[in-house]
Amino acid sequence: MPALSQSDLVASMFSTPDMQGVFSARACLQGMLDFESALARAQAEAGVVPAAVVPHIDACCKAELIDAEALCAAAGPAGNLAIPLVRQLTALVTKQDAEAGKFVHWGATSQDAIDTGMLLQLRQALDLIRRDLAGLLDALAVLCEHHRDTPQAGRTWLQQALPVTFGLKVAGWMDGLLRRQARLDQVSQTAMVVQFGGAAGTLASLGDAGLTVTEALARQLRLGVADIPWHTQRDRLCEVACELGMLVGSLGKMARDISLAMQTEVAELAEPVATGRGGSSAMPHKRNPVGCAIALTCAARMPGLVSTMLAGMVQEHERALGGWQAEWDTVPQIAGLAAAATHQLRQVAEGLTVDTARMQTNLHLTDGLIMAEAVTIALGRDLGRLAAHKLVEQACGVAVAERRNLRDVLVDSLAADARLAQSLSSPELDRLFNPSSYLGVAGQFVDRVLQTHRRQKTERKD
């Protein structure tokens, strides 16, 4: 058996296969090598290095040519991966052409290669997350439209409160995720700027050609150009980390709602059924919310990782001592958790079972108590809000104590008080105790969220 770490055994839960590929050892090395190859081309274009060296450098910038085990052994003493990587690359190029070997990593520093390589990986990571997020939002939009007016019990402090609609609940999930989508689209552009500053951020080794090479390098890698090297200004990466943290937080809220609705005593929702999914090693009847569990685990882990990124922003002078290094393992974990949570909940949303009959049953669990506010508002027009609230509160107490329906208790009160009978007729009571009659503008809220989704979807295509 290969030497797997303990975390390798559960890696499939907290990332996705595609994301594991993006942050594999090979991809990490290839990102830095892509920087070195692009640097040689950019410098040749600017006349800084001979054009003849480019094919030799480019041919050796292949991860499979690197001795990864030797690199791992050398990284600790060197303090980073780039130093032993550049040493190996230089040896490979020199073996092909001694002159070309002189110009490997010309004018660059280790952080230039590491940061730019990380950005190339992060760009792919964000594309994967944004793809699954778009799919998740499409699936939620279908649920929203189908259940725009499906009544269910709204719950506050885990207790039944007032009727809402399932469409409104889904629209609430969508609303937060739509904001995250817009911000991720934005940071996917603003954060993707090449890192190239040389030893101390001045590019003094390139003379007057520093900016020319920087622009050519960025063009080669399809990255933006910053006004200044950002060796110790880590806000762009932190912004990405924070956005992914908020995305996972929003997904965690959705997962919490779904998992609570999957409780046996509630049973309004259920995750999709698939072979090997959601079962129990002991209880054959179980249908566990495994997708939600993974998303909630990701949400529990994410704040600590984001805080590591934020703590690392406080860096020393022109090169960090510890803060930058703390990012190397943190960024891949953040991306992996975001990918896992998004992918899992996309699968959940696309196959979610919605039991509307159970939602109706649950609306009547409290024997009419859920409609107490509706009755209070109706009575308040004649009695005043406080007096109406007191009367209905007393009626609720009787209903609970005597295990009776609130409507029946109120009918007795109406029969004993002619003034109340004038305020609430029997047909009016029928209407007030119909949950679908007390949904406010829930449908309009749903429509507004769906409109935003359609607009963002169109804008993203354009």
- Catalytic residue numbers read 280, 319
| Host H or E run for residue 451 | helix 442-461
Cβ proximity of 185 and 130 under 8 Å = yes
Q: Look up residue 324 and give its amino acid.
A: W
Residue 43's contacts (CB-CB under 8 Å, 6 or more residues apart) are: 49, 103, 106, 107, 206, 209, 213, 216
Alpha helices in 222-277 (DSSP H): 235-261
Cβ proximity of 413 and 391 under 8 Å = yes
Residue 355's contacts (CB-CB under 8 Å, 6 or more residues apart) are: 267, 268, 269, 270
Going by C-alpha positions, the residue among 329, 205, 348, 333 that lies closest to residue 270 is 348
**Cα 70–Cα 74–Cα 80 angle in degrees, nearest 5:** 125
Cβ proximity of 58 and 40 under 8 Å = yes
Is residue 460 classed as helix, strand or coil in its secondary structure?
Answer: helix
Q: How far is CA 81 from the centre of its chain?
A: 29
Alpha helices in 16-164 (DSSP H): 17-22, 25-45, 54-60, 68-78, 82-96, 98-101, 110-146
* Residue 392 token pair: 């209905």
For the chain, give the longest Cα–Cα distance: 106
* Residue 439 token pair: 């949904």
How far is CA 304 from each of CA 3, 76, 121, 370, rounded to the nearest angstrom?
A: 28, 25, 22, 40
Which residue's structure tokens are 């019990």? 153
* Residue 105 token pair: 């990593």
Residue 307's contacts (CB-CB under 8 Å, 6 or more residues apart) are: none
Phi–psi pair at 384, nearest 5 degrees = 95, 150
Phi–psi pair at 153, nearest 5 degrees = -75, 125
Q: How many CB atoms lie within 10 A of CB 329?
A: 11
Distance (Å, whole) CA 107 – CA 120:
20
* Residue 142 token pair: 């279908």
Distance (Å, whole) CA 136 – CA 177:
9
- In this structure, is the dihedral angle defined by the CA atoms of residues 307, 309, 314 and 316, taken in order, positive or negative? positive
